[in-house]
Chain A
């Protein structure tokens, strides 16, 4: 899909009320049912086990294929290893020809979707009937599934009634139980007539030659019972070594996929079984590679083979719930789908869809395969940039960011350039093609005096202890008053704050855009500026910067081969602490008292993505706020992204806007007059949103609230 067609498909999906209605309500119900299903289960331990067992399997594909084949053959199963989609399709076609198959039935299988098996067989005159209700609906409409577990989630009951009415030549109403009955009746005939049944598998066990299939409708049981021939198309990533390896997977899959402890049916098939006429069923297993072993050989992407296809990464994704699955352009959708498309199809095909990821890492939090989905999408981005270079505009921007003096000079100039559009600290309207940036939010303005100038005039007591402040671009040039607050609060604990002029952008924007060379240069400039043995702490009040300092610099330098800087990066990282965590430590140590003794009113707290999911620091600011005398009213989905996502809001304003509006609604419902967060980027987005919407809600960084309480 060209970039233009892709953008059009995103806009079309956003305008589709069925998608926002169905996915909106689902995304609210899902976390509740998932949490209930996992009650009493140690999810972290469970997903470590799955990652370990499936990780082992991915590292031993060839051995497991051989073992599976040996054991399955010993029991009478025919096993075929197929490397390409063509080989799978030809194998199935040959089987159909041998048995004179005219009609076949299928239970849900993403592997067959991946190789477009139905279309191929239909061309050869074989009638293929999907029997999973959702798959059948989608098949009748000539569409692709929009969700791995719920293929027809984008459709309404009225649309289903329409397509069923045509199918049975009878006007049906949108009564769901009645529609299900119609499907039962129609498909029952097809089950009974079919000469061949095709299934996928959720797991394949090498030590016994077993395939495991779970369904709720019971269609897989019929597909594997009524036709005389059964073919299972199984991706290599379904292989595990032992029977016991099935247990964690089958424990997690229904819980993560549908919030069930177990689906209605779990079948384990290990060999041919008797047919209804007494003959023995022909049982074939096709083990499909299609780039899976290449993926297993990739040191970064091999972990994607730990996926159990539960689709929980789709269910929690703030972008998926706006646009649904069809914009992903292929059979696999959502976060993991982006990665699988890049591998099973080609890297180039992920070019547009990888850009949908806002990098909030919500998917990583729920993934039962313990996959760093967001990290892998970033790696796709990096490889795309390495292959094809950055888009022209980004290239120009990063060539500036690469040079600190030029970058800072331009930011100062921007202050002058913005004056025609700015009023009391906001830019509310921009002309022409920039107008969409200000549709849902007012933009912040570049401050008249950046922190790097202002800090020279800040009176500070000489402390015995020194902390170096890494201010970050947004606080430096947009919110210098927040950085000044940091200095004053730390001064109260007897800490002197030093600021070094040589510091520059933390490199996160370049890194998130795939320009790792620029990110590495940023890291080195900063390491030079910040390495000072006199300093006990390096403070940051921006979670994105904090993550860059503690984690990303080391990775980026290693990845870019700038290893001579890694040791210095590690030394520096060990001193880094975020503002709220340090203040909490100071309070606990009795060096700072924040208790005001007053009732400071009701506030709500927004978890910034990096702050919660990378730094895991979300408890400290809450404790500080409550300890200071603020009443904390938690909002719904406090840890769902606000839509800022670094430069995401500028790249995808059409997606960032609705994500922001949802966040504003959740904040409003708490009745709090102030929303607090630890991220200046989130402040910018949410403050701009409330300004544009005309609400009087105050948006503050924790540091400002703490300073107020101290006064």
Chain B
């Protein structure tokens, strides 16, 4: 299922990584933030929405490690961010999608306004298809469900595929084994 998820996600332009531990995920993430050019200042910072992955981490220490990394999500901070980071709840193999209960406005802001969205995903949260996703997370107990399949795209001008219209230009998914409930 992970292989199908990766194939389908990459086919729509999503970058997929898989790591074992949370520490590895964090290293990959911080490297990636530097690589993206995250720095302190409007237009170049990164905003990280609260999520289980962040619980227990020292946010001040992280901000010191990556200058420009912030945890105060607002429309201003997200609109001025180069990178948004959040944890997604589910991966859908058939379409290479990631999905979440996005009722929290922070979850939507960091995955919508920045140029790059980095999504953390527990590896044991893969489901085969949309029907399976709706069975584990139906709309009956979430006012806003989001299914995201690749970066923002358009073909509205002469049918030429162009990546990055209103949403992120890049979507990076880091699948983390240690984030799973079994761990």
Contact = CB atoms under 8 A, between A and B. Distances in A.
Contacts of A247: 130-131, 134
A271 B102 CA distance: 12
A490 B113 CA distance: 72
A541 B12 CA distance: 49
B180 interface: no
B109 interface: yes
A192 B75 contact: yes
B89 interface: no
Nearest to A75: B143
Contacts of B166: 131, 184, 187-188, 191, 217-219, 221-222
Give the most central of B8, B104, B112, B168: most A CB within 10 Å: B112
A137 B139 contact: no
Given A187-B166, A219-B165, A137 B75 contact: no
B164 interface: yes
A266 interface: yes
Interface residues of A, number: 65
Interface string B143-166: 111111111111111111010111
Contacts of A216: 152-155, 165
B123 interface: no
B183 interface: no
A274 interface: yes
Interface string A152-175: 110111001000000000000000
Interface string A169-198: 000000011011001100110011000000
B27 to A, nearest CB: 29
B60 interface: no
Contacts of A187: 166
Contact of B162 (A176, A224, A225): A176
B140 to A, nearest CB: 5
A265 interface: yes
B157 A251 contact: no
B98 to A, nearest CB: 11
Give chain A's interface secondary structure class: mixed
Contacts of B146: 221, 265-267
A384 interface: no
Contact of A180 (B104, B108, B162): B162
A576 interface: no
A244 B134 contact: yes
Contacts of A155: 157
B75 A265 contact: no
Given A188-B166, A192-B79, A208-B139, A217 B154 contact: yes
A176 B157 contact: yes
Nearest to B138: A243
A205 interface: yes
Given A243-B139, A270-B142, A276-B74, A150 B97 contact: no
Nearest to B78: A276
A596 interface: no
A595 interface: no
Contact of B159 (A22, A221, A243, A274): A22
Contacts of B156: 132-134, 137, 150-152
A222 B112 contact: yes
B153 A264 contact: yes
A375 to B, nearest CB: 31
B157 A180 contact: yes
A97 B80 CA distance: 31
A210 B151 contact: no
Contacts of A274: 103-105
A504 to B, nearest CB: 49
B68 interface: no
Given A262-B97, A262-B147, A274-B103, A150 B165 contact: no
A530 B94 CA distance: 56
Interface in A192-246: 192, 205, 207-208, 210, 216-219, 221-222, 224-226, 243-244, 246
Contact of B103 (A153, A261, A266, A273): A273
B95 interface: yes
B8 A261 contact: yes
A205 B75 contact: no
B152 A218 contact: yes
A224 B102 CA distance: 12
Given A192-B79, A225-B105, A261 B94 contact: yes
A75 B143 CA distance: 8
Contacts of A176: 157-158, 160, 162
A183 B139 contact: no
Interface in B58-86: 74-75, 79
Contact of A208 (B140, B153, B164): B140
Contacts of A273: 103, 105, 143-144
B155 A258 contact: yes
A639 B142 CA distance: 47
Contacts of B109: 225, 276
A422 interface: no
Contacts of A222: 112-113, 166-167
Interface in A120-157: 131-134, 137, 150-153, 155-157
A400 interface: no
Given A262-B147, A266-B149, A218 B139 contact: no
Contacts of A43: none
A102 interface: no
Give the most central of B104, B156, B158: most A CB within 10 Å: B156
A272 B144 CA distance: 8
A261 B139 contact: no
Contacts of B112: 218, 221-222, 225
B74 A264 contact: no
Nearest to B145: A268
Contacts of A134: 154, 156-157
A168 to B, nearest CB: 16
A267 B148 CA distance: 9
Contacts of A258: 155
Nearest to B153: A216
Nearest to B96: A261
A177 B95 CA distance: 26
A183 B167 CA distance: 12
Contact of B139 (A26, A132, A205): A205
Given A131-B166, A218-B167, A179 B8 contact: no
B165 A184 contact: yes
Nearest to A180: B162
A513 B97 CA distance: 49
Nearest to B137: A268
Given A132-B156, A267-B146, A274-B103, A217 B165 contact: yes
B36 to A, nearest CB: 18
A470 to B, nearest CB: 46
Given A243-B134, A243-B140, A264-B152, A221 B167 contact: yes
A264 B168 CA distance: 10
A156 B94 CA distance: 35
A270 B152 contact: no
B7 to A, nearest CB: 11
A244 B139 contact: no
Interface of B: 8, 12, 74-75, 79, 94-97, 102-105, 108-109, 112-113, 130-131, 134, 138-140, 142-160, 162, 164-168
Given A150-B159, A188-B79, 5 more contacts: A176-B158, A192-B79, A216-B153, A216-B165, A268-B139
15 contacts: A180-B154, A183-B165, A208-B140, A210-B139, A216-B153, A216-B155, A217-B153, A218-B152, A260-B12, A263-B149, A264-B151, A267-B145, A268-B145, A270-B142, A271-B143
Top 4 A-B residue pairs of the complex, sorted by shortest distance between their CB atoms: A218-B167, A134-B156, A271-B143, A217-B165
